[in-house]
């Protein structure tokens, strides 16, 4: 097994059957995971913030930092591997929150809301998700099988 690590604010795709794509400590960030069982390819983004208007300069240098500029890039990277949109299985994890009644740190919720809006507009269905809560998550996606796991609070469960 070859681990392909996705850093915060980055995305990776792979069509190598031996690869496992992993990202660590999602916190309020969100991972979108794509798997194509026909083409046997997979991709993952670990974005940090909802909107690129927060820092247009950063968005130019690191588009995968933001949902609105990053998620389309991930889909296009999959298409470049020969994937078709209708074959993609989409999973989502992360978007955690602190105990914050004032809502100052609702980055996770904002990250999730913008993603749902984008998916609704572009007719993308989410097959499975594990979002929210005072939890940090590490997710793994197996390129060959599409098997996906979420590790959090000392337990690893399939998604």
Partner 1 sequence: VIDPARVAASVRALPTPSAAVARLHALARDPRSSAADLDATIRPDPALTANLLKLANSAHFGLRHRVGTAREAIALLGVRRVCEVATSAAFAPLIPDRLPGYDVDARAFWGHCVAVAVLAERVALAGDRGARRGAPDLLFTAGLLHDLGKLAVAAFVAEGAGAILGRVRSGGPFAAAEREVLGVDHGEVGALVAEAWALPPPVAWAARWHHAPAAAPEEARPLCALVHVADALAHSLGLGADAGELARAIDPEAARLAGASVRTLERVASESLDAIGEMTRALGAGGGIG
Chain contacts with partner 1 (rule: CB under 8 A): 8-9, 24-29, 48-50, 54-55, 58, 62, 65-66, 96-108, 110, 133-136, 152-154
Give the shortest CB-8-to-partner 1 separation in angstroms.
Answer: 6
Question: What whole-number distance in Å separates Cα of residue 64 and Cα of residue 37?
Answer: 24
Question: What whole-number distance in Å separates Cα of residue 132 and Cα of residue 110?
Answer: 11
| Tokens describing residue 55 | 């820092």
Question: Cα–Cα distances in Å, from 99 out to 25, 72, 96, 135, 145?
Answer: 18, 31, 10, 11, 36
Rank residues 70 and 146 by Cβ distance to partner 1 and give the closer one.
70
Give the shortest CB-4-to-partner 1 separation in angstroms.
Answer: 18
Give the shortest CB-40-to-partner 1 separation in angstroms.
Answer: 29
Rank residues 43 and 95 by Cβ distance to partner 1 and give the closer one.
95
């Amino acid at each position: 097994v070859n681990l392909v690590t996705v850093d915060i604010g980055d995305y990776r795709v792979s069509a190598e059957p031996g690869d496992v794509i992993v990202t660590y400590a999602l916190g309020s960030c969100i991972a979108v995971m794509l798997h194509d069982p026909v083409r046997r390819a997979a991709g993952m983004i670990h974005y940090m913030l909802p909107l690129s208007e927060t820092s247009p300069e950063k968005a130019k240098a690191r588009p995968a930092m933001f949902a609105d500029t990053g998620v389309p890039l991930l889909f296009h990277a999959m298409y470049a591997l020969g994937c078709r949109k209708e074959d993609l299985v989409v999973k989502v994890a992360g978007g955690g929150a602190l105990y914050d009644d004032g809502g100052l740190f609702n980055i996770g919720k904002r990250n999730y809301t913008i993603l749902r809006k984008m998916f609704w507009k572009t007719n993308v269905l989410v097959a499975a998700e594990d979002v929210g809560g005072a939890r940090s998550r590490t997710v793994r996606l197996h390129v060959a099988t599409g098997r996906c796991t979420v590790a959090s609070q000392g337990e690893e469960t399939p998604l």
